[in-house]
Amino acid sequence: MKVAGSIALVTGANRGLGLAFAKALLAMGAAKVYAGARNPEAMTLKGVVPLKLDVTSDADAAAAARTAADVTLLVNNAGIARPGGFLAEGAVEAAREQFEVNFIGPLRMARAFAPILAKNGGGAIINVLSVASWMNGPMLATYGASKSAAWALTNGLRIELADHGTQVVGLHAGFIDTDLTRNVDAVKSAPEDIVRTTLDALERGEGQVLADEITRQVHRGLSADHPAYFQSTAALRSR
C-alpha cells in the first residue's frame, strides 16, 4: 500500500520508534496520523491526532476503534522490555507484563481494527518485532519470548487477513537507539533509518522487513548447521 493518502494509527507514538513512525508518516504524505499513547496530553508533535490508548486495555482498544474508524494503516509499535533470564528473580512477573503489552496488545489491536481495515479497503498492519524473536538468552529472556509470540501472531494474521486484502508486515530489527535501549552497550540503529526501511518495504508490498545488518545475519543463520538461535542475544552486542 502507499503511505501517501493513508490514515494511520501508531501505538506508543509518544517517543522512540513510535514517534519516528509518526514523523515519517506525516513527511511521506499520510492524510492523518493518530498518535496513540497512554497520556495523549504529552504528545507535542504537530500534525498528529492524539489518541488515548493503553494497549493492555480492552476498553481503550474499543474506544480507539470507534474514534479512528477511518484507519487504513495500523502500526503496532507499543512495547516494553525487562532484562533478565528465565531463572532470575521476578521472571514470571516480567513475562506476564511483557506478554500483555508485546503479544496480547498487538492481538487486541488487530482484533479491534481488522474489520475496520477490511471495510476501508484492506490496508495494512505493521507489527514491530525484534531480532530477539529468533534468539534468546539471559540478557532479554522473557522479552525475547514475548517477541517470539508476536512473530507467530504476525505470521498467523498474515494468513487470516489475506482474504481481507490486508497486508501484514513483520518488522525485525536489532538494537535501536531509543529510550528502551538507553542502558544497553551495543551497536544501535537510528530509529529514522528503521522506519524508512519499513515504510519502503510496506510500499513494495513485502510481508517481512529485516531492517539492519544484524537482523539479516541472524536470519541467514537460522537454517545453519549451528543455528543462530543456539547463541545468546548477548552475542549481538559486539556485532
Nearest to 76 by CA among 171, 179, 197, 173: 171
Give the chain's largest Cα–Cα span. Answer: 51
Catalytic residue among 23, 32, 34, 147: 147
Catalytic residue among 32, 143, 188, 229: 143
Nearest to 131 by CA among 93, 186, 92: 186
**Distance between CA 190 and CA 192 in Å, rounded?**
5
Q: How far is CA 57 from CA 153, 162, 235, in A?
A: 19, 27, 35
Query: Is 34 a residue of the active site?
Result: no
The 10 Å CB-count burial string (b at 16+, else e) for 12-50 is bbbebbbbbbbbbbbebebebbbbbbeebeebeeeebeb
Residue indicated by cell numbers 537454517: 223
Residue 104: DSSP 8-state: I
Q: Are 208 and 154 in contact (CB under 8 A)?
A: no
What is the gyration radius of the CA atoms in the chain, in angstroms?
17
Query: Is 143 a residue of the active site?
Result: yes
Instruction: Collapse the DSSP code of 127 into the 3-class scheme (helix H, G, I; strand E, B; otherwise coil) and give the result.
Output: strand
Residues classed as catalytic:
143, 147
